[in-house]
């Protein structure tokens, strides 16, 4: 059963070191968060899982790690300078500013100003002269540098259609009203794939990617039955989109977008191209006098055409929140007490196993526990912790709460018979297992 409300998740995240408010000691910075010791592990595991499912499991998808600072021309031709805006209103009663579609119920209609368009991109000065001319944008999506590198990747990897370019990285949006914890923030990470296809094959590829993304979320612990498919109506589509499917998840604050899967047609590659009249662009694009590259390919008869692109675009923070929400539960135990447990999929768990000596000051137990930790760590499955608290019950509770799939207790019998106690997070069942079998056990658990 998911969390009852956002406060439970916020409190767990702070208490256990998943997420902190950024610059908290100075009162914070609105819409900006820091990921703590456990948060960074879960986030990395999530990103690795995405990367594996895209780049390693598909032989026609390449990776990219492009810059955050972006030449303004990229975002001029992508349409972001003109259209990456949200309508904003001011409330004359409470003096706060809101996105026009997100005004709280307390503000009366008659107190609101007419909506004004507000561009969401952050700008920063580049170089030593701050004259307003030498600036760059912090990218508002990772996608654009995938498009600007399209030719580089094709030329260096000899790819033919269909093929994809995947990227994970930071994006920045000056959201008018950041809120709902890490759901809507001003600095976040995206996991984006641009999958290039021959025009005409785009609709089929779009359907396929919607299915693939649902399967992937299911493997991360967000079941398909908890995701609603929203076919974005024409009037709400982004300027580049022919069709967009949003995967909507019931976050603690309501049903909202977890991931968008858009058919961006040939808009982006067409917009960034020179000699646009020679490459048969279907979309309506701005005349480009600045690009030095033709973002197009040739068909068998030598005619130029611009590939269409399908874009599954997921937010790391929103994924993190959905996964945490699904994994969180409070169980009633036989003794009447409550147990908070994160039923995370083991590949996502920040800590894969905790090795706990029964007594904290016993040299032999501590040495054996450390040796076990070191050998399990070498498997490179993720973080394994040596937990020297001397309080087994307390350690179990902590590891339930942070989602560690197994605890391994080293006791005096372990010294003689080379076995340890394995305690399973979900069932709480304890069993003895040979130390020799631990590696195999953990590998199977994390890779299942």
| Closest distance to ligand ATP from the beta carbon of 185 (Å) | 4
Task: State the nearest-atom distance from the C-beta of 192 to ligand ATP, in Å.
Answer: 8
Residue closest to 274 by CA, chosen among 262, 256, 292, 259: 292
DSSP-derived 3-state class of residue 389: coil
414 token code pair: 């372990």
Q: Identify which of 9, 17, 15, 53 has the alpha carbon closest to the alpha carbon of residue 34.
A: 17
173 contacts ligand ATP (rule: CB under 6 A): yes
Binding span for ligand ATP by CB under 6 A among 1-9, 251-259, 368-376, 414-422: 251-259
CA distance 349 to 380: 14
Q: Whole-number minimum distance, CB 225 to ligand ATP, in Å?
A: 20
**Identity of the residue, 79 or 390, whose beta carbon is nearer to ligand ATP in the bound complex:** 79
Instruction: Please list, in sequence order, all residues whose beta carbon lies within 8 angstroms of the beta carbon of residue 417, skipping any fewer than 6 positions away.
Output: none
Position 202 contacts ligand ATP (CB under 6 A): no
Residue 162 preceded by cis peptide, ω within 30: yes
- For ligand ATP, the binding residue among 257, 266, 268, 400 (CB under 6 A) is 257
- Secondary structure of residue 259 in the 3-state scheme: strand
SS3 35: strand
Helix (H) or strand (E) run with residue 12 in it:
helix 6-16
CA distance 343 to 327: 5
Tell me: does residue 259 bind ligand ATP (CB under 6 A).
yes
251 belongs to the binding site for ligand ATP (CB under 6 A)? no
By CB under 6 A, residue 175 contacts ligand ATP = yes
- Asked whether position 184 contacts ligand ATP by CB under 6 A, the answer is yes
* Residue 340 in tokens: 């908070």
Angle of CA points 164, 168, 170, to nearest 5°: 140
What is the nearest approach in angstroms of ligand ATP to the Cβ of residue 187? Answer: 8
CB of 262 to ligand ATP, least distance (A): 7
Contacts of residue 178, defined as CB under 8 A and 6 or more positions apart, other chains included, come to 30, 31, 184, 185, 186
In whole angstroms, the minimum distance from the beta carbon of 256 to ligand ATP comes to 6
User: Does position 263 bind ligand ATP by CB under 6 A?
Assistant: no
Q: Quick one: 259 or 411, whose CB is closer to ligand ATP?
A: 259
Cβ 173 to ligand ATP shortest distance, Å: 5
Q: Applying CB under 6 A, does 313 fall inside the site for ligand ATP?
A: yes
**CB-based contacts of 136: which residues, under 8 Å, 6+ apart?**
69, 70, 71, 72, 123, 124, 126
Among 39, 252, 260, 403, binds ligand ATP (CB under 6 A): 260
Are 287 and 276 spatial neighbours (Cβ–Cβ below 8 Å)? Answer: yes
**Separation of alpha carbons 9 and 6, rounded Å:** 5
User: Within 10 A of 95 (CB to CB), how many other CB atoms are there?
Assistant: 8
Nearer to ligand ATP by Cβ, of 193 and 344: the residue is 193
Q: Does 314 bind ligand ATP (CB under 6 A)?
A: yes
- With binding defined as CB under 6 A, does residue 312 bind ligand ATP? no
- In the bound complex, what is the minimum distance in angstroms from residue 268's beta carbon to ligand ATP? 13
Is residue 268 close enough to count as binding ligand ATP by CB under 6 A?
no
* Backbone CA torsion sign across 136, 142, 143, 149: positive
Interface stretch with ligand ATP, choices 101-109, 268-276, 312-320, 387-395 (CB under 6 A): 312-320
Contact between 185 and ligand ATP by CB under 6 A: the answer reads yes
Residues in region 316-355 near ligand ATP by CB under 6 A: 317-318
Residue number, nearest CB to ligand ATP: 315
Residue 349 neighbours by CB distance under 10 Å: 28
| Residue 197 beta carbon to ligand ATP: minimum distance, rounded to whole angstroms | 20
Minimal distance, residue 241 CB to ligand ATP, in Å = 9
Tell me the two tokens of residue 19: 């997420």
Contact positions vs ligand ATP (CB under 6 A):
141, 173, 175, 184-185, 188, 190, 257-260, 313-315, 317-318
């Amino acid at each position: 059963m998911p969390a009852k409300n956002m406060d439970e998740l916020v409190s767990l995240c702070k208490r256990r070191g998943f997420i902190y408010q950024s610059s908290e000691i100075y009162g914070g910075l609105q819409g900006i968060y820091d990921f703590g010791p456990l948060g960074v592990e879960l986030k990395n595991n999530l990103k690795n899982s995405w990367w594996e499912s895209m780049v390693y499991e598909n032989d026609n998808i390449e990776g990219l790690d492009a810059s955050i600072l972006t030449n303004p021309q990229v975002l001029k031709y992508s349409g972001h300078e003109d259209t990456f805006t949200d309508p904003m209103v001011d409330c004359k009663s409470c003096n706060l500013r809101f996105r026009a579609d997100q005004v709280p119920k307390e503000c009366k209609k008659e107190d609101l100003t007419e909506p004004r368009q507000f561009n969401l991109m952050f700008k920063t000065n580049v170089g030593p002269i701050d004259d307003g001319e030498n600036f760059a944008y912090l990218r508002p999506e990772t996608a654009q540098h995938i498009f600007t590198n399209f030719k580089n990747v094709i030329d260096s990897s000899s790819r033919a259609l269909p093929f994809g370019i995947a990227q994970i990285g930071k994006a920045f949006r000056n959201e008018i009203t950041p809120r709902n914890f890490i759901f809507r923030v001003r600095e976040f990470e995206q996991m984006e794939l641009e999958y290039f296809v021959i025009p005409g094959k785009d609709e089929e590829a779009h359907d396929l990617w919607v299915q693939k993304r649902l399967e992937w979320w299911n493997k991360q612990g967000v079941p398909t039955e908890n995701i609603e498919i929203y076919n974005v109506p024409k009037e709400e589509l982004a300027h580049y989109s022919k069709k967009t499917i949003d995967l909507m998840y019931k976050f603690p604050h309501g049903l909202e977008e977890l991931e968008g899967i858009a058919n961006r047609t040939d808009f982006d590659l067409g917009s960034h191209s020179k000699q646009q009249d020679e490459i048969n662009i279907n979309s309506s694009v701005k005349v480009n006098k600045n690009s030095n590259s033709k973002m197009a390919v040739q068909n068998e008869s030598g005619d130029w055409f611009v590939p269409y692109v399908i874009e599954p675009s997921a937010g790391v923070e929103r994924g993190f929140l959905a996964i945490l929400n699904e994994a969180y539960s409070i169980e009633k135990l036989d003794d009447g007490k409550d147990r908070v447990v994160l039923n995370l999929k083991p590949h996502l768990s920040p800590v894969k196993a905790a090795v706990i000596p029964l007594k904290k000051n016993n040299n032999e137990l501590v040495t054996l526990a450390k040796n076990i930790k070191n050998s399990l760590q070498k498997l490179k499955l993720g973080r394994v912790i040596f937990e020297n608290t001397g309080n087994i019950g307390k350690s179990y509770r902590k590891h339930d709460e942070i989602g560690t799939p197994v605890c391994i207790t080293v006791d005096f019998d372990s010294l003689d018979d080379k076995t340890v106690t394995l305690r399973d997070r979900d069932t709480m069942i304890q069993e003895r297992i040979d130390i020799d079998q631990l590696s195999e056990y953990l590998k199977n658990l994390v890779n299942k």
